[in-house]
């Protein structure tokens, strides 16, 4: 249901005063999309650009939520405020992730410095790819210093969303071929830090070796992703993960790379919004009477489809 302008303003106002309910409502708005979402983002955009974002991705069940939970704990030790978006996979093999995420991050549920939210795809135009950056903005605007984004590393959009963070952490597990699977899913290209989680299981050295080999074969980059070993369930290696993220951040912040990366991302987002808006307009154009009239002329071979499309677009302005 659309919210009144005054209500959106009121939500924004309350969210800025750290009202958790209001923050949650705003995230629901951007999840749904539409004019209310646009209004909320417009009201908050000027306050954004301060949060550091970390994408955490990997195969279903690799331990992303458990790691995220530990990372929240580590960041809180420094007194930093943390926002978390757990993107619920549309993928059928990970049903029940919402409950899992809630259970695994429960320790922080009563901590005012932490805000955790699951987000679903909903399948609207631009879906997750457009909604996630808006949700990140809300957390950024209300003062979260870190925003962690958990996505399952299957599916192009989920991988894209994780890859759009300032630092992207790719989680794999020990065992034959896990690194190779990550490579196939396109995760190797987006990784700034690798985590071999479940390092209490056999095959850690082989997996590390596989990753190293694949990195050597991939195109030269100005940053070589470190490989960190963790046992998330026991909290082992979390300091190493934190340090690896901090090192990548320092690398980006030197020489203006972070600003450059964010600038490129904003341009990509702008392009995606323009495309989504054009697609919306095209949708409107293609189900009115003028469309049908032109389509009949195409049926009758009086017009070719290209000429008909141009005519439609010209009349739509």
Ligand X SMILES: Nc1nc2c(ncn2[C@@H]2O[C@H](COP(=O)(O)OP(=O)(O)OP(=O)(O)O)[C@@H](O)[C@H]2O)c(=O)[nH]1
We find the least distance from the C-beta atom of residue 127 to ligand X, in angstroms, to be 18
- How far is the C-alpha of 119 from the C-alpha of 170, rounded, in Å? 20
- Minimal distance, residue 202 CB to ligand X, in Å: 11
Q: Which CB sits closer to ligand X, 100 or 177? A: 100
- Distance of CA 230 to CAs 71, 106, 233, 301, 315, Å? 11, 20, 9, 66, 60
In the complex, the smallest distance separating the C-beta of residue 170 from ligand X, rounded to whole angstroms, is: 12
Binder of residue 144, out of Mg ion, ligand X, none (CB less than 5 to 8 A by kind) = none
Least separation in angstroms between residue 91's CB and Mg ion is 12
Of 75 and 149, which has the nearer Cβ to Mg ion? 149
152: partner contacted, choices Mg ion, ligand X, none (Cβ within 5-8 A by kind): ligand X
The smaller minimum CB distance to Mg ion, of residues 65 and 134, is found at 65
Evaluate whether 196 touches 230 at the Cβ level (below 8 Å).
Answer: yes
Least Å distance, CB 31 to ligand X, is 18
Kindly state the smallest distance separating residue 158's Cβ from Mg ion, in Å.
12
Give dist(CA 206, CA 204) in Å, integer: 5
Give the nearer residue to Mg ion in terms of CB position, either 25 or 108. 108
* Residue 175, contacted partner among Mg ion, ligand X, none, CB below 5-8 A by kind: none
- Partner from ligand X, Mg ion, none binding residue 268, C-beta < 5-8 Å depending on class: none
In the bound state, the residue with its beta carbon closest to Mg ion is 65
173 touches Mg ion (CB under 5 A): no
Smaller CB distance to ligand X: residue 3 or 244?
Answer: 244
Q: For Mg ion, which stretch binds (CB under 5 A), given 45-53, 62-70, 133-141, 300-308?
A: 62-70
| Closer residue to ligand X in complex, CB, 101/166 | 101
Interface residues with ligand X (CB under 6 A) are: 60-66, 94, 97, 100, 104, 152, 197-198, 200, 231-233
Q: Is 65 in the site for Mg ion (CB under 5 A)?
A: yes
In the complex, the smallest distance separating the C-beta of residue 254 from ligand X, rounded to whole angstroms, is: 32
- Residues forming contacts to Mg ion in the complex (CB under 5 A) are 64-65
């Amino acid at each position: 249901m659309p919210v009144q302008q005054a209500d959106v303003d009121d939500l924004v106002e309350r969210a800025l005063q750290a009202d958790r309910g209001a923050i949650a409502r705003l995230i629901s708005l951007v999840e749904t999309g539409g004019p209310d979402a646009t209004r909320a983002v417009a009201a908050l955009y000027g306050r954004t650009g301060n949060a550091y974002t970390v994408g955490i991705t990997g195969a279903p069940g690799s331990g992303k939520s458990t790691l995220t939970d530990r990372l929240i704990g580590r960041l809180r030790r420094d007194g930093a405020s943390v926002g978390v978006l757990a993107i619920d996979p549309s993928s059928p093999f990970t049903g029940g992730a919402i409950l899992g995420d809630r259970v695994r991050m429960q320790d922080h549920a009563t901590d005012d410095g932490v805000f955790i939210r699951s987000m679903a795809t909903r399948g609207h135009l631009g879906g997750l790819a457009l909604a996630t950056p808006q949700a990140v903005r809300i957390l950024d605007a209300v003062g979260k210093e870190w925003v962690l984004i958990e996505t399952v590393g299957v599916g192009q959009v989920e991988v894209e969303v994780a890859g759009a963070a300032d630092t992207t952490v790719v989680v794999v597990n020990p065992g034959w071929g896990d690194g190779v699977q990550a490579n196939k899913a396109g995760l190797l290209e987006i990784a700034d830090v690798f985590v071999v989680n479940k390092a209490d299981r056999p095959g850690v050295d082989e997996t590390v070796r596989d990753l190293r080999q694949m990195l050597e074969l991939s195109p030269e980059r100005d940053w070589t992703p470190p490989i960190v070993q963790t046992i998330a369930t026991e909290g082992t290696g979390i300091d190493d993960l934190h340090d690896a993220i901090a090192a990548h951040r320092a690398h980006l912040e030197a020489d203006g790379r972070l600003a450059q990366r964010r600038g490129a991302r904003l341009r990509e987002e702008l392009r995606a919004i323009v495309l989504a808006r054009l697609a919306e307009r095209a949708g409107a154009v293609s189900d009115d009477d003028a469309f049908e009239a032109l389509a009949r002329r195409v049926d009758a071979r009086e017009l070719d489809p290209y000429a008909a499309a141009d005519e439609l677009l010209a009349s739509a302005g």
